[in-house]
Amino acid sequence: MKHLYAIALLAVCFALPAKSQSDIATIHFYAPDKFGVRHLPLYVDEKTVGSLHGRDMIDVPTTPGKHTVHSSQKDSGIFLEVTAGGDYYVKVSLSEHGFPPPGRVDLVDPSQGKYELEKMKKH
């Protein structure tokens, strides 16, 4: 009987899906314009995930679920509902308000984000 339980336990363990790369989403932050010497901080759920210099990009792996994303200008943040395996493109730019101008984020359509990233790589 003990062997039967062991076999059943093994069968259940092998049937459960393992965490894989497809369970993680990616937020692609990019800054297509120059900022001079400035580096803009990037936050996901109020945790620093990196910083961008103008004409720079960074990929941030993220777990599925609801997240808040912003740079140094908190009122330009976005709420992002992330799904497993998804790719999200966030453009980072300088705001027109404030001195020095703070960074703002905008969620862009994936086709636009891919295009702008490819264009940045060629220059």
Each of the 123 residues of the chain gets a pLDDT tens digit; together they read 444 444 444 444 444 444 555 789 999 999 998 877 688 999 999 999 999 988 899 999 999 999 999 998 877 899 999 999 999 999 998 877 667 778 889 999 999 999 999 998 877
Angle at 86 between CA 81 and CA 91, to 5 degrees: 75
Residue 10 lies inside a defined structural domain of this protein: no
pLDDT for the residue numbered 39: 86
Residue 13 lies inside a defined structural domain of this protein: no
pLDDT for the residue numbered 13: 44
Q: What is the CATH number of the domain that holds 72?
A: 2.60.40
The span from the CA of 14 to the CA of 6, in Å, is 12
Residue 47 lies inside a defined structural domain of this protein: yes
Residue 5 lies inside a defined structural domain of this protein: no
Residue 72 lies inside a defined structural domain of this protein: yes
Residue 59 lies inside a defined structural domain of this protein: yes
pLDDT for the residue numbered 10: 41
Q: What is the CA radius of gyration of the chain?
A: 20
**Structural domain of 109:** 24-122
